[in-house]
Every structure is written in structure tokens, then in C-alpha cells.
Amino acid sequence: MTDVRDAYGLGSVPMGIAVVVLFAIVMARSHATYWAGRAVVRGAQQVHDSDRGPGWWRSTIEHLERWTGTRAAQRGLDLVRRWGAVAVTLAYLTIGLQTAVFASAGLIKMPYLRFSLASVPGAIVWAVVWATVGFGAFWGAAALFAASPWALVAAAVVLLLVVAWAVRRRLLRRATDVPADQPADALD
């Protein structure tokens, strides 16, 4: 595995640097998502208070307002309303729910200091997990692919099947969630 890491010039990167860089990345992402949620609230208020503004802005706000009605957004809102800052901390340990929780914290106008303080422990754990297990899995997969091209083909087929299954499941779920009087594309 060392030869693969060396090939990319990462063989000598200390663990501490990896954790710090990943921590900075995840904090930037989560806080940008929080502020996007806050912007949706402010933008929606301005759009509804006046008919002025460029068409692209109104369209963007309307699209984001529709997003807040999706299952993922509602789930994130419910978690943040029920658990508050704890939901933000624990969201870092989830897959597929992080964005909804961070945006929901902004949508419900969670105080920024509370959001920031809740983000730190979750971001630290996320960075440590990815700097150890996450990179370990990546480099292990890279070594396997370098050793056997057939492993790459098999993994690509499995990934394709998983994505197809997830898309099909989402489409079926969306078809059952849409009321009869609302077109299916209204949620996009």
C-alpha cells in the first residue's frame, strides 16, 4: 500500500496535517450549508414582500422553497427541531443527512454560536475517521485496483447496480409521495 501512497506523493503526510485539513474542509462545508439555509429564509421573505428582483433570483428562491418540502429536508428539520445542537453534532456521523441537518439549522435560524459550538466535536470526529479509516479504505482500494484490473471492473459493476437500485427506489418513493393533484416534477 505504501507504493500507491508514494505514487500520489502522500506517503509522508503526517496524520495531524490530514486531520487539520479535513477538519477545515468539513467546517467550511457545514457552515456554508448553514448560511445557505439562512439565506433561503431571508431571500424567501424578500421575494414574498416584493415583486421586484431578477427572475433568476426569484426562481432560485422558489426552487429552494420547494426543496424544504422534500422528505430529506423535512427529516432534517424534524431532527433539528427535536434535538437542536445535538442533531448538528451527530449529523457528522451520518451519510445522506448532513446537508439536510446543516441547512435545517439555518432554516430555523439556530443561533450561529450554538451551531458553531455543536459543529466542532462532530467535525473533529469526522476528520479523524476520514483521516484514518476513510483514507485507509481508499488506499486499500487503490492497491487492489492496481493489483487486479478485474477488481476495478467488478467494483464498477457493483457500484452501477447500487446506484441503479437507489435511483429506482427514490423514483418509486417519489411516485407514492406525490399527491394526485400535484405533478411529479413539482418537487424538483
pLDDT (tens digit per residue) in 80-99: 788 888 888 888 988 778 88
CB 37 within 8 A of CB 106: yes
- State whether 51 and 128 are in the same domain: yes
Under the banding of pLDDT at 50, 70 and 90, the label for residue 167 is confident
- The fraction of the chain above a pLDDT of 70, given in percent, is 76
Number of H helices, E strands in the chain: 9, 0
Whether residue 77 is found in the same domain as residue 129: yes
How many domains, the chain? Answer: 2
CA distance 60 to 43: 9
- Amino acid at position 52, single letter: R
pTM confidence score: 0.63
Q: Please indicate, yes or no, whether residues 93 and 120 belong to a single structural domain of this protein.
A: yes
Residues 184 and 140 occupy one common structural domain: no
Q: Do residue 141 and residue 60 come from a single domain? A: yes
Residues of the domain holding 101: 2-147
CA-wise closest residue to 35 among 119, 123, 127, 129: 119
57 in the same domain as 136: yes
167 plus 75 within the same structural domain: no
